[in-house]
Structure 1
Amino acid sequence: MEWPRFLSTSDESSVLRLSIVTTLLIASIGIVFGLVSGSFSIVFDGVYSLVDASMSAVALAVVRLITSYAVNVDLPRKWRDRFTMGFWHLEPMVLGLNSTLLVGVAVYALINGVTNLLSGGHELHFGAALVYAALTVSACVTMVVVESRANRRIHSDFLRLDIKSWIMSAGITAALLIAFSIGYAIQGTAWEPLTPYVDPAALVLVCVAIIPIPLAEIRQALLDVLLVAPADLKQHVDIVAKHFVERYAFAYYRAYVAKVGRSREIELYFVVPPDMPPKRIAEWDAIRDEIGRAIGGDESHRWLTIMFTSDPAWAE
């Protein structure tokens, strides 16, 4: 039996599309249940999911642009002429924006939660809240499993962030489930006066827990945008370049590397002795091919420039 298209996990776009559909469904249910139960924390969960879904839609559009450019299909010539160096630079920008928005939503909810606590809390219909929390935790865990299995094959930074978002959502709702269960259990006991504080207290604890999580993604996005050279990539390129310097008796080399989203930007300049015997263009190209194979990586997402010169000024 063939799965409906929106349920497919065959590629990055399909998984993101499934994530968006599921997130929108959960967000809509969350806002409705939050209003019915009177729970600010459930409403926050729904709004958080809506922000996540909107950024997943942007990520999906960026993935299509990057893929179209990399495989040279389905991209208007006008776009290809205007973005001659591809669309990889959009990936860290979207990841950084997504993480920043999630932090902003969580900080705003934290402030509201603290304000609600200080004002004495509010009444909550625990039955509806418990139903929502149980259903949402199940959906989030299912998406984590589905996306994790798919990303073992796809190896996408967008999916890695989306999996983190689902884990965060599962953690948020699991914490709410525990809090609502405690609130439901203490009804009719000596602890019942504390029930108005259950919802805002849960909201505060959840926000405090999740705010640090997107900060790592913001840091990585900034490193990519600022073209900070990844240590492991620089080390690998240095090893390859040194080998070819020794093999062909070049004078020295200069390597410039950066990671921009899923792409690897590599520029290699080999300074050759001025008195080196001349080579035909085809011979230089053959050496370039050797170096490219030695560097390896996904060629569709690798920007590799290799230059040979006897003038050190071209390499500096």
Structure 2
Amino acid sequence: MATDHPRFFDTRTEQGVLRLSIAASLGMALAAMVFGLLANSSLIIFDGIYGLIDVVMTWLSLLVARLIAQSTQTDMLQSRLNQRFSMGFWHLEPIVLGVSGTLMIGAALYALVNAVDALTSGGRLIALGPAITFAVISIVAESALAVFTLRANRRIGSDFIALDAKNWIVAASMSACYLVAFIGGALVRDTSLAGIAPYIDPGILAVVCLFVMVAPMATVRQALAGILLVAPPELRAHVDEVARGVVARHGFLEYRSYVAQVGRGEQIELFFVVRADDPPRALAEWDVLRDEIGEALGEESPDRWLTIVFTTDLEWAV
């Protein structure tokens, strides 16, 4: 019997991909904790902590994505939640992205301090068998998930999935570092270089932490721009170009534009100053002009908040 309900792990939707990523992240994080304790490796334990943070933040991303999707549905517009958040939920997206990136940087900074402490205290001996086994499993699983999320996002185009894919790439890169380090430790065992073995785990952890601290910075910067309502230059230029054309064609005095990119949402406000002696027009004519401007700005989207105002008083446009 056919059903219209989407599958829980529907890889064609943003929420389905994020759910799958949450399940995979949780499994990898728990495995890292177990293998980290078996191997006495702070490097692998950090990988588990990193994974648990990723699980929490991906779950929050999923929640926000669901709220945004529901808020743009006509049958949800009168819901109690939407009445309390009448301006939508787009503002939550950069907040979650910013918090996620900041937490990743904070966790890496804390682990870096511990790694430096271990390096200056004689290092740490680890059990190489469980460590190498975990590194191999991690590389295979995390690389597969990175490829999967990147391919899925070519069709979906989600900032949340893009950040998640970046996290899987980072995780796979970290696991590759683990494998190289652990194999190197096994090769130098019982040789004249055996003295460096205790420093391999904290040494690679320090390098990985530096890498993890750098990776989310672009996302945090982008999220901060959304939170502060910084106008994207490309969007501002496009809106101004359309507005200037409208002013020239219809003989308006001037215009004012206000734009912002808040997560996936575009917020555009246009105020056109009309001559006071301009011949009166029916409301239907102004609506037609609004439709014309909206089409010129681009394809209509549920993620676009567009306000167009016509006034003879410049103070209403400032």
**TM-score normalised according to structure 2 size:** 0.96
CA distance in 2 between partners of 1:35 and 1:174 (Å): 19
What's 1:69 paired with? 71
Indicate how the Cα distance of structure 1 residues 298 and 261 shifts in structure 2: closer, same or farther if over 3 A, else same: farther
What's 1:131 paired with? 133
Q: 2:131 is matched by which residue type in structure 1?
A: A
Q: In the TM superposition, what is the alpha-carbon distance from 1:77 to its structure 2 partner?
A: 1.5
- Large movers: runs of 4+ above 6 Å: none
CA distance in 2 between partners of 1:183 and 1:206 (Å): 17
Indicate how the Cα distance of structure 1 residues 173 and 314 shifts in structure 2: closer, same or farther if over 3 A, else same: same
8 Å CA contact retained: 2:227, 2:262: yes
Report Cα offsets for 1:276-306 as digits up to 9, x if no partner.
Answer: 1111000000000010011114520000000
Q: 1:65 is matched by which residue type in structure 2?
A: L
> 1:300 aligns to what SS in structure 2?
coil
Once the two structures are superposed, the pairs formed by residues 46-65 of structure 1 within 5 Å of their partners are 46-65=48-67
Once the two structures are superposed, the pairs formed by residues 132-151 of structure 1 within 5 Å of their partners are 132-151=134-153
What's 2:207 paired with? 205
Report Cα offsets for 1:265-284 as digits up to 9, x if no partner.
Answer: 00000111111111100000
Equivalent of residue 251 in structure 1, options 250, 253, 258: 253
CA distance in 2 between partners of 1:174 and 1:28 (Å): 19
Equivalent of residue 292 in structure 1, options 273, 290, 294: 294
> 1:299 aligns to what SS in structure 2?
coil
What's 2:179 paired with? 177
What's 1:40 paired with? 42
What's 1:21 paired with? 23
What's 2:166 paired with? 164
Q: 2:127 is matched by which residue type in structure 1?
A: H
What's 1:88 paired with? 90
Report Cα offsets for 1:225-248 as digits up to 9, x if no partner.
Answer: 110111000000011111111111
What's 1:31 paired with? 33
Indicate how the Cα distance of structure 1 residues 6 and 82 shifts in structure 2: closer, same or farther if over 3 A, else same: closer
> 2:72 aligns to what SS in structure 1?
helix
Indicate how the Cα distance of structure 1 residues 73 and 109 shifts in structure 2: closer, same or farther if over 3 A, else same: farther
CA distance in 1 between partners of 2:36 and 2:300 (Å): 46
CA distance in 1 between partners of 2:127 and 2:254 (Å): 73
CA distance in 2 between partners of 1:67 and 1:296 (Å): 20
CA distance in 2 between partners of 1:48 and 1:210 (Å): 10
What's 2:235 paired with? 233
CA distance in 2 between partners of 1:298 and 1:148 (Å): 26
Identity of aligned residues (%): 47
> 1:134 aligns to what SS in structure 2?
helix
Q: 1:240 is matched by which residue type in structure 2?
A: V
8 Å CA contact retained: 2:104, 2:212: no
Structure 2 residue 258 is the aligned partner of structure 1 residue 261: no
Q: In the TM superposition, what is the alpha-carbon distance from 1:217 to its structure 2 partner?
A: 1.2
CA distance in 2 between partners of 1:299 and 1:125 (Å): 55
Equivalent of residue 120 in structure 2, options 118, 121, 126: 118
Indicate how the Cα distance of structure 1 residues 73 and 135 shifts in structure 2: closer, same or farther if over 3 A, else same: farther
8 Å CA contact retained: 1:6, 1:14: yes
8 Å CA contact retained: 2:76, 2:82: no
Q: In the TM superposition, what is the alpha-carbon distance from 1:20 to its structure 2 partner?
A: 0.2
Q: In the TM superposition, what is the alpha-carbon distance from 1:7 to its structure 2 partner?
A: 4.2
CA distance in 2 between partners of 1:129 and 1:77 (Å): 51
CA distance in 1 between partners of 2:186 and 2:299 (Å): 55
CA distance in 2 between partners of 1:100 and 1:312 (Å): 42
Indicate how the Cα distance of structure 1 residues 269 and 34 shifts in structure 2: closer, same or farther if over 3 A, else same: same
What's 1:103 paired with? 105
Q: In the TM superposition, what is the alpha-carbon distance from 1:8 to its structure 2 partner?
A: 2.8
Q: In the TM superposition, what is the alpha-carbon distance from 1:73 to its structure 2 partner?
A: 4.4
Indicate how the Cα distance of structure 1 residues 237 and 75 shifts in structure 2: closer, same or farther if over 3 A, else same: closer
CA distance in 2 between partners of 1:86 and 1:116 (Å): 48
Moved more, 67-76 or 168-177: 67-76
Instruction: Give the unaligned 5+ runs of structure 1.
Output: none
Instruction: Provide the alpha-carbon RMSD of the alignment.
Output: 1.5
Indicate how the Cα distance of structure 1 residues 73 and 128 shifts in structure 2: closer, same or farther if over 3 A, else same: farther
8 Å CA contact retained: 1:65, 1:75: no
Paired residue total: 314
